[in-house]
Amino acid sequence: MSVVDISSLFRRSHNFQWYWNSKADPSSYNDKWMKYTDIENEIIEDAFDTHRKEVEIDGGYIIDLAQLVQYSNMNNNTRQQIKRIASDSKTTANIHLREERFSSPISLVSTSPDKTIENKEKNKIRLQLLRGTVHFPSSYLWFITSRNATFADIVEEAAHGIMKEGTDIGKKREAEWLASKLLSVKHYGEGIDRLHDDGIPGEIGRMCVLLYTTDSFLFKSINCVLRDTENITRKRLNILGPFSALLSFYLEQIQTIGVDTVYRGINLTDEERYNYMNQHAIHYLSFYIYEHESRISKHVW
């Protein structure tokens, strides 16, 4: 993908939302329009902008842009209407909060140290030390300290991890879109060592933020790992570690301007409440994104 394509992705107004009609009875007048997910919407919009007649999304569905219908590639007799709606910037009529993302339970750092290290082999010790800590993103770099990996190398490994994860969970099309966008900024990291004084190239960092804040399997998979550190495996580290490391690099590097106070209620165990009262701090096990309700803006924390 060219640099021009990257610019168009960052600058796209995202003022259009695609819907599909989920009514069970095609003859019924009671339409029930459902939004496509963020990435499905992007895939369809990309195809629409390039004047393609059809495009496939996950689940084996074909989007027919000529007839404005969707159907299963296993049964094209059942067709459902689709439509494209322009969002009105003056209202929030067609803007929706992603409740699943912003109301999921928060997991905190375990305060019980892990004392069960039995295998003294270097990598297994490192993995054991990783469990129960908040250092999953940077731990990937810990495992590759013997390599002179550039940011371009890490981007490529992150893209491979996204493809592996998406294919394994039946989200191949979504993974292809995510990986292609990430690889489109790979060249910005060519020849730049991860320990370079200037840090991660901004183009790579901003793309990671964009992809993570997009509603997809990626943020769910990463947060699932970070919320269950006791069961982290080397395989999960290889798949999700590269992207997590890139995102973490960028978030630590950028300066936050205009910090707002954000409140969120959580349920604490007696142990967590005791530790909070003594330490006056809570450590989260994953990246968190808070959404301003009136403007529907996203902030990565």
pLDDT (0 to 100) of residue 229: 65
Mean pLDDT calculated for residue range 179-189: 95
Q: Residue 197: left if φ>0, alpha if ψ -120 to 50, beta else—which one? A: alpha
Residue 60 pLDDT more than 70?
A: yes
Do 142 and 219 belong together in one domain?
A: yes
The answer to the question of residue 98 being in a domain is no
pLDDT (0 to 100) of residue 186: 95
Q: The tokens 């019980």 sit on which residue?
A: 112
Q: Which residue has the higher pLDDT, 55 or 215?
A: 55
- Whole-angstrom distance, CA of residue 154 vs CA of residue 80: 41
pLDDT digits (tens, 9 = 90+) for 64-88: 999 999 999 888 788 999 999 987 6
Mean pLDDT calculated for residue range 226-251: 84
pLDDT (0 to 100) of residue 27: 66
Give 44's contacts (C-beta < 8 A, 6+ positions apart): 18, 36, 55, 57, 63, 65, 82
- Whole-angstrom distance, CA of residue 48 vs CA of residue 65: 7
Banded pLDDT at 112 (limits 50, 70, 90): very low
Mean pLDDT calculated for residue range 200-216: 91
Residue 212 pLDDT more than 60?
A: yes
The answer to the question of residue 44 being in a domain is yes
Do 71 and 141 belong together in one domain?
A: no
The answer to the question of residue 104 being in a domain is no
Q: The tokens 């322009």 sit on which residue?
A: 86
The answer to the question of residue 280 being in a domain is no
pLDDT (0 to 100) of residue 32: 86
Q: What is the DSSP string of the chain?
A: --HHHHHHHHH----EEEEEE--S-TT-S---EEEPPHHHHHHHHHHHHTT-SEEEETTTEEEETTTTEEEETTEEEEEEEEEEEE--TT--TT----HHHHSSPPPB---S--------SHHHHHHHHHTTSS-HHHHHHHHTTTS--BHHHHHHHHHHHHHHHHHHTT-HHHHHHHHHHHHTTGGGGTT-BTT-TT-S-HHHHHHHHHHHHSSSHHHHHHHHHHT-GGG--HHHHHHHHHHHHHHHHHHHHSPP-SPPP--------HHHHHHHHHH----BSS--EEEETTTTEEEE-
Do 150 and 53 belong together in one domain?
A: no
Q: The tokens 């990996």 sit on which residue?
A: 149
Do 74 and 159 belong together in one domain?
A: no
The answer to the question of residue 94 being in a domain is no
- Whole-angstrom distance, CA of residue 206 vs CA of residue 193: 18
pLDDT digits (tens, 9 = 90+) for 25-41: 666 677 889 999 989 99
Give the CATH number for residue 54: 3.30.720.50
Structure tokens at 60: 């084996």
- Range among 135-139, 146-150, 195-199 with highest mean pLDDT value: 146-150
The answer to the question of residue 286 being in a domain is no
The answer to the question of residue 164 being in a domain is yes
Do 174 and 238 belong together in one domain?
A: yes
Mean pLDDT calculated for residue range 205-226: 89
pLDDT (0 to 100) of residue 239: 93
Banded pLDDT at 267 (limits 50, 70, 90): low
Banded pLDDT at 90 (limits 50, 70, 90): low
pLDDT (0 to 100) of residue 265: 59
pLDDT (0 to 100) of residue 50: 93
Residue 116 pLDDT more than 60?
A: no
> What are the two backbone dihedrals, phi and then psi, of residue 292, each rounded to the nearest 5 degrees?
-75, 120
Last residue of a domain, one of 86, 104, 121: 86
- Whole-angstrom distance, CA of residue 182 vs CA of residue 191: 17
Write down the mean pLDDT value for the chain.
Answer: 75
- Whole-angstrom distance, CA of residue 274 vs CA of residue 42: 46
pLDDT (0 to 100) of residue 31: 81
pLDDT (0 to 100) of residue 232: 74
Its domain, for residue 233, covers 133-254
The answer to the question of residue 262 being in a domain is no
pLDDT (0 to 100) of residue 22: 87
Mean pLDDT calculated for residue range 145-163: 89
Q: Is 290 exposed, middle or buried (0-12, 13-18, 19+ CB in 10 A)?
A: middle
Q: Residue 191: left if φ>0, alpha if ψ -120 to 50, beta else—which one? A: left
pLDDT (0 to 100) of residue 146: 61
Mean pLDDT calculated for residue range 109-129: 44
Domain count, the chain: 2
